[in-house]
Amino acid sequence: MNGESIPAKELNITLPDQTKKTYRTGITACEILREIGGKSPGNILAVKVNGMPVDINRPLTEDAVIELITFLTREGKEIYRHSTSHILALCVKKLFPDARLAIGPAIEDGFYYDFDLKRSFTQEDLEKIEAGIMEIIDSDIPFVRKEIRREEAIELFRKLGEPYKVEILEDIADETITVYQQGDFIDLCLGPHVPSSGKIGAVKLLSIAGAYWKGDEKRPMLQRVYGTSFPDKSELDSYLKRLEEIKKRDHRRLGRELDLFSISDDIGPGLVLWHPKGAVTRRIIEDFWKDEHYRADYEIVYSPHVAKLDLWGRSGHLDFYRENMYAPMKIDEVEFELKPMNCPFHIVIYKSHIRSYKELPIRWAELGTVYRYERSGVLHGLLRVRGFTQDDAHIFCMPDQLEAEISGALDLTLFILKTFGFDKYEIYLSTRPEKYVGTLSNWEKATSALERSLKERNLPYQTDPGEGVFYGPKIDIKIKDVLQRAWQCTTIQVDFNLPERFDITFVGEDGKEHRPIMIHRALMGSLERFFGILIEHYAGAFPLWLSPVQTIILPITDREREYSKEITERLRRAGIRSSLDDRNEKVGLKIREATLNKIPYMLIIGAREVKDNTVSIRKRSGEDLGVKKIEEIIDILKSEIGARLTT
């Protein structure tokens, strides 16, 4: 070219307001935003470039559509808190140079970082670290992104004495690695991050926990420091108040205090013991579930807890689910397996004789207990266990019945969830992944049926493209509790795979064999998890129809004992769960204890009540309902129970 300069490539950039402009190659989104806004973009944390989140200072090298990422977005919160975790790591390395770094991701509502340090962190250490973090924030240290060769990165972190980073790098196949530097501190990370530490507002370190490296009990135990961060202190304060409310509602504490359930080391972690009071509420849930399924034209089936290992090979669980299954046991030289799923049993029932199109749809439901291996580190009260009872159902239908069956399953789901007090949801429609079984036409028909069922009910939902399971599309429903926390419960899944694997058929009107479509469906998810959610949703103060004890009779003195026994028996004969506290204690103490036990109604009996053949009735809230005849009280209670009121 004889010294001629080559003009820089120009880029066509679509701006956040959808206007299009031309810029020089290498310009950053930050520079563009300054140009069009006249100042530094204060609340912009990062940007999406052609749909991918990137650093705001990353040079642009190709035509792009730019979208802004703020803290108000899901990506923004994740970037903000992941950046805070890096600041935490920087601070810990300054204060404790011997600490070795593991990983530090953003999590829902916060972040954590795992450290390997010979001595244990204390609460005083957390306070010291928190103060150090605020100093780093005030220093406004930039996050600088660098790309280096993988071998160079391994050598770098080896010299820095960071064996966990080296191990991560050795498992990565990419030749180019991304690191982020803040001053002298450098960390392995894909990013993106906020431009500098000064972007972070309010930070709170919440707790310390143990965590095995890579979740493996055979690997080193690390110290996990949890924290959260928000743009300003008022948001942080609101969140901390919410955390206090969550602690008050912790189902593990309430389960112990209200004597509902326990998990014992003598039995084994993740295996639940239902105490009498918890078992009462479980029975009520089960009876309601069964009654509503019979009304919806389901039939109830039962299946064993174990089956031959071959069954799980045929179903595909050995290929796709082995790590969550327990080791087989040998019986008469044949290997048997604790069941992780109920579906193969229902299919075997289906195959017990030839089915006609006139029998379809077939709807079979089961409260089936299954067993799945979970690492001890992730077990959590009733919410993550190793043995649990699924409220399972499987529907076998013809292709032209599919939409009606999905609609029926969705209607039953919404009715049952609403009856328990849940009417706000997050709903996801997951569509065909890259690897799938079945025909495209069946996938399209099933996905359309799922989508139409949601639209007909005006249920807002998000589409998760490609996130369906390999055997079919699905709807997942997360219920929102009183604190607006989302809990995964319902799943409605269309399955083209198991009917194929087990070669199940029905004889059609034409006299030929045809393949049915199978729907997997669980409404509450599992009784254990759902019960834990109910405890936290109601803070243990169950509505009357679900309360293990609905009324307690409190005689003021021994002289009212016989009349109190009569009242207790009359309530029990009326189908009201009642107990009698006839201890020789002051009635004030009895009222306090009944309130702590969250019993909905207290019936107080003194000399006047005995004389007038009445009862003084009081709610657990403290509201005094006055003196009433027992017949009137029974009518009031039965009306409330029958209506299944949740408030």
Distance of CA 448 to the CA centre of its chain: 26
Active-site residues, by number, are 343, 372, 390, 392, 394, 474, 520
Distance of CA 516 to the CA centre of its chain: 32
Q: How far apart are CA 294 and CA 190, in angstroms?
A: 53
DSSP annotation of 472:
B
Beta bridge partners of 476: 428, 491
Q: How far apart are CA 524 and CA 533, in angstroms?
A: 10
Q: How far apart are CA 217 and CA 192, in angstroms?
A: 31
User: Per the structure block, which two tokens stand in for 46?
Assistant: 């990062």
CA 463 → CA 127, 214, 410, distances in Å? Answer: 43, 31, 17
Say how many CA atoms lie within 13 Å of 471 toward its Cβ: 18
Tokens 């990165």, residue?
A: 153
| Signed CA dihedral, 279, 247, 110, 164: sign only | negative
Say how many CA atoms lie within 13 Å of 362 toward its Cβ: 21
DSSP notation for 355-377: -BGGG-SEEEEEEEEEE----GG
Q: How far apart are CA 54 and CA 145, in angstroms?
A: 10
Tokens 């960071």, residue?
A: 162
Smallest CA-to-CA distance from 76 within 194, 196, 198 is with 194
Q: How far apart are CA 276 and CA 279, in angstroms?
A: 5
User: Per the structure block, which two tokens stand in for 167?
Assistant: 């191990």
Q: How far apart are CA 38 and CA 47, in angstroms?
A: 18
Cis omega (within 30 of 0) for bond into 231: no
User: Per the structure block, which two tokens stand in for 336?
Assistant: 């048997």
Contacts of 218 by beta carbon, 8 Å cutoff, 6+ apart = 212
Contacts of 168 by beta carbon, 8 Å cutoff, 6+ apart = 103, 188
